[in-house]
Amino acid sequence: MGTVGGGTVNVLTRNAEEIARRAGRGIVVTHAAARDINKPRICDTTNITLTTTPQDVVNDPDVQIVIELIGGDTLARELVMAAIANGKHVVTANKALIAKHGNEIFAAAQKQGVVVAFEAAVAGGIPIIKALREGLAGNRVEWLAGIINGTGNFILTEMRDNGSDFGDVLAEAQRLGYAEADPTFDVEGIDAAHKLTILASIAFGIPLQFEACYTEGITKITREDIVYAEELGYRIKHLGVARRTDAGVELRVHPTLIPERRLIANVDGVMNAVLVKGDAVGPTLYYGAGAGADPTASAVVADVVDVVRTLTSDPENRVPHLAFQADSLSDLPILPMAAVETAYYVRLQCEDKPGVLANVASILGNSEISIEAILQKEPVGNAPATIILLTHRVNEGKMNQAISTIEGLEAVIGDVMRIRLEHLDAD
């Protein structure tokens, strides 16, 4: 009964008549668990039996649907598994729970003939799960890319708009309540990796494999990189990318340059967006609020309505949890990052003397890396020169070797900054 729980009660109450018309019967919240049942709430709990023991809710014989909005993957997992064992349907907004334990949870749910719905686990109020699982069911999804963490997107937007440093914007995000006191899950990409794991599983019909997702945060992005990217016609976004290839599935979260003309490059602040490329439909974009009481409650309630509609249906004829029939999931491997192919933004600082750029270009050429654009910033005073390169698509393993060699040049100062680049076009 926190922010999202209160929002869910409010939406169910406010839109009760409309929801009943859609679901075919009324939906009433009868029981709820809270750490402190006397705490002021954003919803009316007059007709709800409150308890500090969540097991009371999942074990109550009169409860048909359990909504899990606790978070984490310990107590939440225990409660969800207990609810399933008791023959109750489950609705959850818990991305970590689904990403890490979804395979086990869905197997138990299928055995018991119950539904586990999780639309709110990814991108708040955007119905991206339903779009992938049902609306695009006729497509072979080729790739998807998403801004699926509002905190990271807010930070990068503020750094671009105000020329601020990462640390200053993070402090502002914490003050506004967008970032937690410990922002690790957001700024290091773990939250986005949970969500991308779920999206990739539904898009490609593969088991959930969170541990195989490559994850890189935004803490090393500087305002200079953002400025240079803009000069070259790009925006930097913290992107989750999943792509099907002949060799396997790319599953990766990292800062990414995107051409500024792309719609997704112009998604700012705490908003989320997911771009999906299907073979029949082409590219489709899903945009909206990725968090908040009412937007997330919108997705939770939509799941509850779906569950209510299935109460009288044959369990064998429901939409599968991960879009594909449970016995038809693919064993496509998740590719290691070194096997991924993408383009790159490379920034290096070097002594201002002849031949350095030629040496760098030679190293890239020897690694079969083609340069698309070069931007050279003249040094001020005795400061080192800055060289920015954009490359064409290349295998990451080759780029890693080239960067290591470049960093070994006597004239190159410090580490080379590398940010991946995706054009996200229809090809």
Active site residues: 195
Nearest CA-CA partner of 161 in 253, 226, 238: 226
Determine how β-strand 249-259 pairs with β-strand 234-244: antiparallel
Sign of CA dihedral 195, 201, 207, 213: negative
Return the residue matching tokens 């991946």.
420
404 CB neighbour count, 10 Å cutoff: 11
Task: Please state, as a whole number, how many other Cβ atoms lie within 10 Å of the Cβ of residue 192.
Answer: 29
**Collapsed DSSP state (helix, strand, coil) of residue 10:** helix
Please choose, from the candidates 121, 126, 127, the residue with its C-alpha nearest in 3D space to the C-alpha of residue 102: 121
What DSSP string describes 174-237? Answer: HHHTSS-SS-HHHHTSHHHHHHHHHHHHHHHT----GGG-EE--STT--HHHHHHHHHTTEEEE
Half-sphere exposure of 222 (CA within 13 A, CB side): 8
List the beta bridge partners of residue 343: 421
Q: Does residue 383 contact residue 416 with C-beta atoms inside 8 Å? A: no
User: In which residue are the tokens 């060799």 written?
Assistant: 247
Ramachandran angles phi, psi of 374, nearest 5°: -130, 135
Say how far apart CA 110 and CA 224 lie, in whole Å: 51
Residues 6+ apart with CB under 8 A from 160: 226, 230, 235, 236
